[in-house]
Amino acid sequence: MWCGSAPESEVPTQSDRERPFLTAYLDLHDSLRAQRLGRGGVEVCHALTSSLDVGIEELVSHFPDEMAIVATGGYGRGELSPHSDVDLMLLHAVDDPSKWASSLFRPLWDANLRVGHAVRTVKEAASAAKERFDTHTTLLTSRLVAGSEELFGSLMSEIATVTKARPLRLHLVEEERERRRQSPYLQMAPDVKTGRGGLRTLHGFEWERRREELIGRFSPDSRLEESEARESLLRIRNALHTMTGRPHDVFSIDLRELVARWLGLGVHETAAMLIGAVHAVDLLASRRWPELTRQPVGPFGRRLRAPLSGSDRTPASARSPSFEEIIRLLRTGEQGRDTFERLWDAGLLTELVPGWGTVRARPQLAPFHQHPVDAHLWRTVEEMRALIADDGHYGRVAREIGQPDLLLIAAFLHDIGKGHDGDHAEVGAGMARSFCERLGLSGHSRDQVETAVRHHLLLARTATRRDLDDPAVIDEVAATVGRLETLQMIYLLTVADSRATGPSMWSQWKATLLRTLFTRCASRFGAEEPTGPDHAAFRATVLDLAGTARRSAEDHLAGMPAEYLWSTSPEDVLWHLELIDATVGMSNLGVRAGGAAGTAVVVGRVGRGFRQVVAESFAAHGIDVLEARLFSRADGMIIDSYRVRDDRTGEFVPPERWEGARSDIEAALQGELDTGGRVAARAAAYRPKSAMQTPPRVEGSIDTATGDLVVTIKCSDRIGRLAEILVALHECDLEIALAKLDSRGEELVDSFHVRGQGVLDTAGIDRLAGRIAESIIP
């Protein structure tokens, strides 16, 4: 028996590619990039499969009668995507098949096809199927391409025998459970082949049906929902393969526009088609394999089993769930979520939560969103449950509110207004109010949930874009929320929402900003600050650690903004002082490791272009800035802290590159080096060829509390982007008073409080925003 992959020494070069017997297949393959075939799904797969069949039949026309060429895997199913593996088995009954195997497989390798190959007798194939589950399933849907029908029939008889002795269900259910463990919530960037709700789950359905056929039982045809989902998933997969030129199966952010363009659709339409298909497959799996989910929560099992009646086909015992029943669903995690889905399918929730039909499987295209809307809402509920149970700061806040059920409802409804015209928070507030009224909640409880939904973005936007040291900002937020209990609810909702959105939306720095804002606003309602650090104790610790440098430390703390004290440990304060004292020239740079990422601190005197030079030097040396805290001391000393990593590997930046960055910063500040040119060269070398470039969005506004001009820049992230933004602000003669850098995966949302333009009216602000946008390269 011989099986496996082509040896490295036998991997062909491009010059070996053309083979006459595969001309039609290769021509079709090459033409797909320029011209989609049909809708791009099953038609493409069938055309590639049929064309390859013809070529292989021609190739093996002289093979002995004791051989059969069997397509397995995706090729056997007729699901051959542009860069799928071509899974083939040479089934034989001869003494030495090696010559024939070479005649079959080598030309396929020479044509640059990825061939998963095996050479087996019928007995060897049956033995392999007994030993390995994946071999068994790939043979269940195998297909004769050419050669002996008798030999192939013998194989199928043996596989039927193996299949009778091996139930598939337990293994398929466990694989599906593992997919759900890996991805508890549906993703916006799913793997359309092996991920949750992907093609592999549909293959499981097909393997079960094939098993029934082989052991002589009736096997119903696939459902229409299954066929439609399969078509959608194959359309996306074929587009991904075609546009990347490789077997890429993840609907990643940078490929959305390319995939949509190939399919002739809009990006939102494409994403909606995919998420709808993934959602449908996930539900079909739950229905086909009920053991995947637990029994319905509480009394819902009886109601779901009730006989159907009426044209709407809802259970005869249908009635809207009570407040207690809804809360029970929200409290019970995955079991409650599964029950909710079944209740919705049964028509028991359409009157209670009419907006659910709009958010269900609704895509969210912003790059920082990890989940569709409905999955995000459920994950926010789960995050809120964790905050309520927290034995630290968040748990104390939740206990002070004393209404955990309302917190869960607010988490469940905070984005319910998405998909409707208007501001989703405002629309959602009205829908939340109606929901509470239908549940019979009192006026106060109803108002609390409505207000939390209306202002669920308030704290995050304020913390990441405005000056928290300004009392007017704090007063404005406190006036908006109105009362301490409401502030506490919105605070916990903000944390749960951020955590549930995706990893790029939550970090220790953002947690610090939110906590700072929350504590300062709470003080406006007479609350003490038990959750914040004791400033006096903090200063005392720093001064004790400073020893003989006590006076220097005291002066340093007195000159730094309060936010610096909130976000910096006493040990880091002393580190900053050491860097300042050790500065020779115009700057100094210190680095500390911290997992894959590290922390870099740059100190120096405020000057035109200082931060631009730092950003350019980092970018030129492949140092990716994940987040930044930019501080200026009262005497003009800059102390900027950056969370950084290698921009290619994601690992900690090696020491030799830090030495290069440190040297370049000083040389550039002395006017001896053009760091911008180095950044341009690196950006050109590493810019993704597949990524679609979109124009940056720049908004200018006046901070109503402080009167400051705030410039907010939203754009895709890439090498040197921070430097480009700083250059754009410099060219507009703007001096940065405060910077809030917010990286959200592939997107940046950076806010800068700037000076240098005097008093601007609305038209002047718009013109300035336009100038900045023009200066930033798309």
Domains in the chain: boundaries? 2-166, 356-523, 692-778
- As to burial, measured by CB atoms within 10 angstroms (0-12 exposed, 13-18 middle, 19+ buried), residue 198 is buried
Best-predicted range by mean pLDDT among 118-127, 303-312, 553-562? 118-127
Q: What is the pLDDT of residues 262-276, one digit of tens each?
A: 999 999 999 999 999
More confident residue, 437 or 749: 437
Question: Nearest 5°: CA angle at 426, between 423 and 427?
Answer: 80
Residue 665 banded pLDDT, cuts 50, 70, 90: very high
Strand runs (DSSP E) across 212-294, as ranges? none
* Span 3-13, average pLDDT: 40
Q: What is the pLDDT of residue 701?
A: 86
**Quick check: do 356-523 and 692-778 share a fold?**
no
In this prediction, residue 606 carries a pLDDT of: 67
- Alpha-carbon distance of 377 to 108, in angstroms, equals 49
Query: Does position 430 have pLDDT exceeding 60, yes or no?
Result: yes
Classify 221 as helix, strand or coil: coil
Q: Is 634 left (phi over 0), alpha (psi -120 to 50) or beta?
A: alpha
- What average pLDDT does the chain have? 87
* 376 CB-side CA count, 13 A: 27
Please state which architecture CATH assigns to domain 356-523. Answer: Orthogonal Bundle (1.10)
| DSSP SS3 for 639 | strand
What does the pLDDT look like over 15-25, one tens digit per residue?
A: 444 457 888 99
pTM (predicted TM-score)? 0.80
Give the span between the Cα atoms of 173 and 17, in whole angstroms: 42
Fold designation for 2-166: Tetracycline Repressor; domain 2 (1.10.357)
At 322, is the pLDDT very low, low, confident or very high (cuts 50, 70, 90)? confident
DSSP string, 364-382: --STT--S-HHHHHHHHHH
pLDDT in tens, 466-482: 878 778 889 999 999 99
SS3 (DSSP) at 748: strand
Helix axes 610-620, 721-731, angle to 10 degrees: 150
Ranges 249-258, 669-678, 718-727, 753-762, most confident: 249-258
Pairing of strands 623-632, 637-646: antiparallel
CA distance 455 to 161: 63
The residues, any chain, with a CB within 8 Å of residue 242's CB and separated by 6 or more, are 32, 33, 82, 262
- Please give the pLDDT value at position 504: 76
At residue 3 the predicted structure's pLDDT band, cuts being 50, 70 and 90, is very low
Cα-Cα-Cα-Cα dihedral sign, residues 347, 351, 353, 356: positive
pLDDT-derived band of residue 686, with 50, 70 and 90 as boundaries?
low
Average pLDDT, integer, range 512-532:
81
Backbone angles phi, psi at 711, to 5 degrees: -110, 120
Per-residue model confidence (pLDDT) at position 19: 56
Work out the average pLDDT over 307-317.
Answer: 48
Distance of CA 371 to the CA centre of its chain: 7
Q: What is the pLDDT of residues 589-612, one digit of tens each?
A: 999 987 556 899 999 986 668 888
Report the pLDDT value the prediction gives residue 9, as an integer from 0 to 100: 36
pLDDT at residue 647 in the model: 75
Closest Cα to residue 577, out of 602, 600, 552, 611?
Answer: 552
Q: What is the pLDDT of residues 717-763, one digit of tens each?
A: 777 788 788 778 878 878 776 777 776 666 778 888 887 666 677 88
User: What digits encode the pLDDT tens for the residues 359-378?
Assistant: 999 999 988 899 999 999 99
User: Is the pLDDT at 184 greater than 90, yes or no?
Assistant: yes
User: Which of 738, 681, 730 has the alpha carbon at shortest distance from 710?
Assistant: 738
- Token pair listed for 533: 């650090």
Q: Which CATH superfamily is domain 692-778 in?
A: ACT domain (3.30.70.260)
- In this predicted structure, what is the pLDDT of residue 312? 47
511: pLDDT strictly greater than 80? yes
Per DSSP, helices labelled H in 471-549 are 471-481, 484-501, 508-523, 535-546
pLDDT recorded at residue 706: 67
What does the alpha-carbon distance between residue 36 and residue 261 come to, in Å, rounded to a whole number? 10
Q: How confident is the model at residue 12 (pLDDT cuts 50, 70, 90)?
A: very low
User: 285-307: buried (b, 16+ CB within 10 Å) or exposed (e) per residue?
Assistant: bbebbeebbeebbbebeebbeee
Whole-number Å distance between alpha carbons of 123 and 504: 53
Band of pLDDT at residue 306, cut at 50, 70 and 90: low
Q: For the chain, what percent of residues have pLDDT higher than 70?
A: 89
What tokens were used for 735? 């001096």
The highest-confidence range among 277-286, 543-552, 633-642, by mean pLDDT, is: 277-286
User: Beta strands 115-120 and 86-92: pairing type?
Assistant: parallel
Q: What are phi and psi of 428, to 5 degrees?
A: -65, -35
